[in-house]
């Protein structure tokens, strides 16, 4: 058996920048530097479904959290959050290590700053209800795949290696 039993949950656009609102994409395909660090550590990746794509499709315009925060969008986010938390529980119950969740700072959906995105509000509400604590890291708003990101990559490495200490 070759499994290491570690997994990290990722906002959809970390693996697929083609899903991002066109003027806001920060890489050609995915965040290769981030994915490279995850792969280097033999950590599995779980791509969280993008509720913005489900709600408005690929050719949507940028929206704020307030613009997304309505009954229909919350319903989509709650359904995705339920599936994500259910899968987190499955991994935990299988004695796997859930390394954490990586979100996108400033996202109206997947941010975990003081102004949480709607999907992450729903995910962390359910995790809290189940007394499950999961580390979280946000990709900063100034992250661009083409530029040096040493400070963030250092934070990422510490995040991914948090169980090594």
CATH label of the domain that carries residue 80:
3.40.50
Distances in whole angstroms, Cα of residue 132 to Cα of each of 84, 127, 150? 13, 5, 31
Q: Once rounded to an integer, what is the mean pLDDT over residues 159-163?
A: 87
Do the beta carbons of residue 17 and residue 26 sit within 8 Å? yes
E strands present in the chain: 6-10, 44-47, 97-104, 136-139
Q: Once rounded to an integer, what is the mean pLDDT over residues 144-156?
A: 88
E strands present in 39-135: 44-47, 97-104
Assigned domain for 34 exists: yes
**Predicted local confidence at residue 108, as pLDDT:** 96
Assigned domain for 1 exists: no
pLDDT digits (tens, 9 = 90+) for 52-100: 999 999 999 999 999 999 999 999 999 999 999 999 999 999 999 999 9
Whole-number percent of the chain with pLDDT over 90: 76
- Cβ neighbours for 112, distance < 8 A, ≥ 6 positions apart: 101, 103, 120, 124, 136, 138
Assigned domain for 67 exists: yes
**Predicted local confidence at residue 152, as pLDDT:** 93
**Predicted local confidence at residue 9, as pLDDT:** 98
**Predicted local confidence at residue 131, as pLDDT:** 97
Assigned domain for 110 exists: yes
Assigned domain for 165 exists: no
Assigned domain for 137 exists: yes
Q: What is the DSSP letter of 60?
A: P
Q: Residue 92, SS3?
A: helix
- Domain that includes residue 74, residue range: 6-160
pTM: 0.93
Task: Report how far residue 117's alpha carbon sits from residue 120's, in angstroms, rounded to the nearest whole number.
Answer: 5
Q: Tally the domains of the chain.
A: 1
Task: Report how far residue 117's alpha carbon sits from residue 69's, in angstroms, rounded to the nearest whole number.
Answer: 10
- Does the structure show a pLDDT above 80 at 1? no
**Predicted local confidence at residue 158, as pLDDT:** 95
**Predicted local confidence at residue 39, as pLDDT:** 95
């Amino acid at each position: 058996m070759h499994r290491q039993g570690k997994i990290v949950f990722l906002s959809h656009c970390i693996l697929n920048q083609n899903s991002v609102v066109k003027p806001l994409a920060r890489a050609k395909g995915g965040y290769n530097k981030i994915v490279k660090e995850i792969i280097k550590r033999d950590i599995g990746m779980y791509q969280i479904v993008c509720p913005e794509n489900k709600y408005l499709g690929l050719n949507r315009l940028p929206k704020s959290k307030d613009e997304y925060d309505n009954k229909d969008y919350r319903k989509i986010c709650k359904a995705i959050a339920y599936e994500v938390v259910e899968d987190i529980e499955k991994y935990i119950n299988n004695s796997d290590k859930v390394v954490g969740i990586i979100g996108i700072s400033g996202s109206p959906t997947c941010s975990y700053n003081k102004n949480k995105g709607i999907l992450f509000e729903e995910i962390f509400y359910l995790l809290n209800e189940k007394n499950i604590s999961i580390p979280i890291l946000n990709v900063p708003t100034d992250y661009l795949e083409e530029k040096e990101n040493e400070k963030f990559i250092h934070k990422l490495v510490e995040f991914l290696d948090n169980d090594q200490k």
